[in-house]
Amino acid sequence: MTRDLHPWPRTEAEAVAIQERLRSAVRVEDPPQIRTAAGLDVAYRDADEVVAVVTVLDVATLSVVDSSVVRGEAGFPYVPGLFAFREAPPLLTALDELSVRPDVLVCDGQGLAHPRRFGLACHLGVLTGLPSIGVGKTAMGRCEPPGEERGDWSPLHLDGEVVGRALRTQRGVKPVFVSVGHRFTLDAACDLVLRLAPEYRLPETTRTADHLGRVQD
């Protein structure tokens, strides 16, 4: 599933250079029909031991139709803005172990809402060629609080540019922060997140992946 577009870096400078080079490959466009959505999450057992989890959900029923768990050691240090170089390698391995190819990757992190406009969702989307979106729990940028009703949103700004939205998925609950990863539009990304979050703040893709990661020994 993965295209070999770069070697995995050893230094911060090499990682930044990869982001700068690949960010022009991100496409913002109407997505294809979405029938299955993958939730991607990484749990940490200590500073460097990781458990990468992917769950694939049927979007119509929100039932899990496939999943994969990969354990390993993070091969890159903890550097803000470069999380993809810690989390993408085990997540890509987990994606390759799936028997169901998802129509979209829903990442627990950022897409274009990133200092170099190339967060984890962008990186995984470009490397796999799959549509992808980022759904963050915290804002990367600045925004006004959206209205209190489900579906209300406000623009998320970074360096004077709109890079995503603060989206209220449940009435009176803190918003999530949605940004495009690859081969998606922001409107379509927010519509999908609302479909995936009928009851709780976080989409079921994130919730199922997080739960599966937590129950691993």
- What are 54-69's pLDDT values in tens digits? 999 999 999 999 999 9
Residue 189 in contact with residue 168, Cβ under 8 Å?
Answer: no
Q: Is 15 helix (H, G, I), strand (E, B) or coil?
A: helix
- pLDDT one-digit tens code per residue, 62-97: 999 999 999 988 889 989 999 999 999 999 999 999
Other CB atoms within 10 A of residue 65 CB = 15
Question: What global pTM score does this model have?
Answer: 0.95
List, for residues 119-159, the tens digit of each pLDDT value: 999 999 999 999 999 999 999 999 999 999 999 999 999 99
Whole-number Cα distances in Å, 165 to 85, 185, 187, 206: 25, 12, 9, 18
CA distance 119 to 105: 13
- pLDDT value at position 116? 97
Phi/psi for 107 (5° steps) reads -95, 140
Determine which helix (DSSP H) or strand (DSSP E) holds 122, and give its type and residue range: helix 120-128
